[in-house]
């Protein structure tokens, strides 16, 4: 029988759970886009977005998903033939590199595998070898959503400075802004891209590019700039419609306004702390289950794990059976394994991911873990007893 009726938990790494308050804020008649409340609301949204990103510089809003702001960032700083270095820790860094190549940018991928963070020493050696400063930017993800590897962004900037390389540092925080700590200015990031549908708890449809004056100087000579993706008019609009190069994403803006209010009410530090504790509860459960049998977290080093998403290795082709069981029998949707093994192979079924980003609390995570434990038993994945207990102890200690 199914026990899945009741409130469903979509525990995939984006889009994330949408708060009822955000949905309610979007449930309204169409607002005027020429004057009044909506137009007055947008400057405050820009200010609050910058606070979450840790920057005093510029923020451009796009009607787009994450792929759109990838393209926006690329087109504003590069010319065809420019070289960009892409340290990769999974599918998403490679995806951004692929988009750069399609635009005629020479993207060199440095592969750091699927289970550990970018090694700053290797990056330093590659940059030091670039004596003529051909590399115009270092571009990567803070969190790769496929592997759940978290990179140490501040360390990347440190080695760039140590070797005296003038490249821009461009970071994709789509998976993790509002979940994992990120400080654009303090960490010396020149361009950051994110979307609204993960840590920012708003339905997919808006993307953001944050950039500083150094990046904006690259925009002066970039020959990939196109009218729609140009960030200039969006950050200094003479007319309201120029924020969005056309009609505003009216209802999304109301949703985002409410999501940013919720972050401010909780306090960003508390939001980040909540994600950290809930992530360690997830890790504790999988560590315990994995004491017997092949189940294991994808990232061995806790310091290189995201607080937004966790990738799991099942060690057999049973992850699809597990995902189907928890979804159909218990109302929990887990994320597919992405980019870990080629689609169509048995190995593709060896992985899954748990999203714990955004509007997620202890009872949701403990419920999800207990459901996974039931699923492990039901589909016959070998595991040690006591995973949920281990997670509950973390919650009891930290809450």
Ligand X SMILES: *Cc1c(COP(=O)(O)O)cnc(C)c1O
> Which residues bind to ligand X, rule: CB under 6 A?
14, 65-67, 92, 141, 143, 145, 172, 174-175, 195, 204
Alpha carbon distance 183, 172 (integer Å)? 13
Nearer to ligand X, 71 or 82 (CB): 71
- SS3 of residue 354 by DSSP: strand
Q: Which residue has its beta carbon closest to ligand X?
A: 66
Sign of the C-alpha dihedral, residues 334, 339, 344, 348? negative
Alpha carbon distance 370, 36 (integer Å)? 48
Alpha carbon distance 348, 339 (integer Å)? 8
Nearer to ligand X, 69 or 135 (CB): 69
Please answer whether residues 249 and 257 qualify as being in contact, where contact means their C-beta atoms are separated by less than 8 angstroms.
no
Q: Which two tokens stand for residue 127?
A: 């940059």
Q: Which two tokens stand for residue 79?
A: 């010319």
Nearer to ligand X, 306 or 371 (CB): 306
Who's near 220: CB < 8 A, 6+ residues apart?
none
Nearest to residue 168, comparing CAs of 176, 180, 160?
A: 160
* Least distance to ligand X, CB of residue 14, Å: 5
* Least distance to ligand X, CB of residue 338, Å: 10
Alpha carbon distance 254, 114 (integer Å)? 38
Strands (E), the chain: 9-11, 58-63, 83-88, 106-111, 135-141, 143-144, 149-150, 168-172, 191-195, 206-211, 296-297, 309-313, 332-336, 351-355
Q: Which two tokens stand for residue 142?
A: 């803070």
Cross-strand partners of 45: none
Nearer to ligand X, 330 or 354 (CB): 354
Nearer to ligand X, 38 or 60 (CB): 60
* Least distance to ligand X, CB of residue 206, Å: 10
- SS3 of residue 133 by DSSP: coil
Alpha carbon distance 170, 100 (integer Å)? 13
Spatial strand order in the sheet of 296-297: 9-11, 332-336, 351-355, 309-313, 296-297
Nearer to ligand X, 145 or 311 (CB): 145
Nearer to ligand X, 85 or 175 (CB): 175
């Amino acid at each position: 029988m199914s026990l899945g009726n009741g409130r469903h938990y979509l525990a995939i790494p984006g889009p994330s759970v949408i708060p009822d308050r955000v949905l309610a804020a979007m449930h309204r008649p169409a607002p005027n886009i020429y004057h009044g409340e909506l137009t007055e609301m947008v400057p405050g949204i820009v200010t609050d977005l910058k606070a979450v990103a840790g920057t005093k510089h510029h923020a451009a809003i796009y009607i787009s998903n994450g792929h759109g702001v990838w393209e926006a960032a690329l087109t504003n700083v590069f010319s065809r033939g420019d070289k960009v270095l892409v340290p990769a820790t999974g599918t998403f860094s490679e995806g951004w590199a692929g988009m750069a190549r399609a635009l005629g940018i020479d993207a060199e991928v440095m592969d750091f595998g699927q289970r550990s963070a970018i090694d700053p020493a290797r990056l330093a050696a590659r940059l030091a070898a670039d004596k003529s400063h051909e590399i115009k930017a270092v571009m990567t993800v803070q969190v790769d959503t496929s592997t759940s590897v978290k990179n140490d962004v501040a360390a990347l900037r440190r080695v760039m400075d140590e070797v005296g390389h003038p490249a821009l540092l461009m970071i994709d925080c789509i998976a993790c802004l509002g979940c994992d700590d990120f400080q654009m200015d303090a960490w010396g990031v020149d361009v950051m891209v994110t979307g609204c549908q993960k840590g920012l708890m708003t339905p997919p449809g808006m993307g953001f590019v944050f950039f500083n004056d150094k990046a904006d100087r690259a925009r002066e000579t970039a020959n990939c700039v196109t009218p729609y993706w140009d960030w200039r008019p969006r950050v200094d609009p003479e007319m309201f419609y120029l924020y969005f190069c056309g009609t505003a994403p009216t209802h999304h803006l109301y949703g985002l306004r409410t999501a940013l209010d919720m972050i401010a009410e909780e306090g960003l530090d508390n939001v980040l702390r909540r994600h950290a504790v809930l992530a360690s509860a997830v890790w504790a459960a999988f560590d315990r289950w994995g004491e017997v049998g092949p189940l294991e977290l994808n990232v061995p080093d806790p310091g290189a794990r995201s607080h937004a998403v966790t990738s799991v290795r099942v060690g057999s082709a049973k992850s699809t059976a597990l995902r189907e069981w928890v979804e159909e029998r218990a109302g929990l949707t887990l994320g597919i394994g992405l980019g870990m093994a080629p689609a169509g192979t048995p190995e593709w079924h060896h992985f899954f991911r748990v999203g714990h980003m955004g509007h997620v609390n202890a009872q949701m995570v403990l419920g999800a873990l207990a459901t996974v434990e039931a699923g492990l038993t039901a589909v016959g994945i070998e595991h040690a007893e006591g995973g949920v207990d281990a997670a509950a102890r973390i919650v009891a200690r930290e809450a």
